[in-house]
Copies of this chain bind each other. A is one copy, B any other.
């Protein structure tokens, strides 16, 4: 008989023959092995608010004991609950942490509340959870460039990610519409690039502007805090600084870096932007200096350098760019993109890090360590893995959480094709047709939350949940899918989201206040989408 109200993620669960329950009380003690101090403190902090109990670190073994088990792999854990004792063993501290997250899921959903809840018995059904993730990159990209998210909202999102055993937060920090990271060497990036005069409302060239300035940025101290907060929850923050396209916000402050010249403002409209960087040595150096400060803040192995959607039109029309391409010995002016990315790659690799870029970077020569985010379907994933690059799969039709969630007319600013929970759950990060021997190049996948049409933290909740629960399951769980079982576990999970105050999308559709009547989206048919992808992937060299 399966355990009731089981968590979304841990499985398989073997119920103890005798059944029974373990109960957390004011007298419950906690013990932990050396190296698990931080996990133990996190668990104490997670249990205390709702229960009011402090899980005293007293006696060994404690009623709850956290242990390291060299027989288990990284991120792997075994949670064993008997009436008298709960033991969480992990292959490493991360594994123990995930075991603790599963322990919370076995408790009543009220455990997620921030203050003592009366009248709840804090019982754990006895049984064993033995679990490990399928992928090592279980990610979410947050686009804080299009819409600034206050620091506290990022910290909260990190908590929500960790409750779903996700481990990689990709922060999209810069784009045409805003630059969000303080760079000490270039103060105009925060004085000028960090805000725009107004914002396009909805999709389409004729969409109105809202007349409201938008902006904000994170200080380096804020970012270090975000990194450390995430690290304490076993989440790596991968920063992304876009180039050589998606740079209009930079060009508004430092026009000497662009082809266009002076006169650009931080962009107020959505869509692919023609204003790109020039290829001068000083421009490369500017971005190298930026990346140096970024690498000082973010200890992640991966440093995002963007590389997507860079139209070549300005270079082709600009005599100096043509001259520069010739100086550099490039066969085609278009190759300036690859050259530029190559220079950044060289610098980042030289500091012992790896570049992380969108699948367009496959068009040039990149380091063997370069890691590719495959977004235009799975073509990039297949190509990259076959060439020996590591891959993070995030094909738009299954991983883009700005896409509308249903065909309902009430979906807020509906763009692209519908992507619902079942759709996300159907996502397979390893591309079809890839040799089994190359599958290890697929590090995992991520949900990409673009925010052109997500203009508040409340809307973020609506677009992210519960689809992110399905993504978490895809990235943690086995390759074999069982939608029915997942949906049952998701039903049991929703009260946890409610306790956490997540304004997730209800199956019945948006609440009235989650709708955006009159704001135009840009729905497309599957055929239109396929044609679009075919067109933009034509120049991936395979």
Contact = CB atoms under 8 A, between A and B. Distances in A.
A483 interface: no
B48 A225 contact: no
A155 interface: yes
Contacts of A115: 225-229, 231-232
A150 B215 contact: no
Which has the most chain B C-beta neighbours within 10 Å: A114, A195, A211, A517? A114
Contacts of A195: 511-513
Interface of A: 37-38, 41, 45, 48-49, 52, 54, 110, 113-118, 148, 150-152, 155-156, 195, 197, 211-216, 219, 221-222, 224-229, 231-232, 456-458, 498-499, 501, 503, 511-513, 515-518
Contacts of A213: 512-513, 515, 517
A370 B137 CA distance: 60
A512 B190 CA distance: 12
Contacts of A499: 221
Contact of A155 (B37, B114, B151, B215): B114
Contacts of A456: 456
B211 A518 contact: yes
A133 to B, nearest CB: 24
Given A211-B517, A512-B213, A513-B214, A113 B150 contact: no
A212 B516 contact: yes
Nearest to A210: B210
Contacts of A224: 117-118
A504 to B, nearest CB: 13
Contact of A48 (B41, B226, B227, B518): B41
Given A115-B229, A215-B512, 6 more contacts: A38-B52, A115-B227, A150-B501, A152-B156, A195-B512, A222-B501
A423 B110 CA distance: 44
Given A48-B41, A225-B114, A150 B503 contact: yes
12 contacts: A45-B48, A113-B221, A115-B229, A117-B221, A117-B224, A148-B513, A150-B501, A150-B503, A212-B517, A213-B513, A214-B513, A215-B511
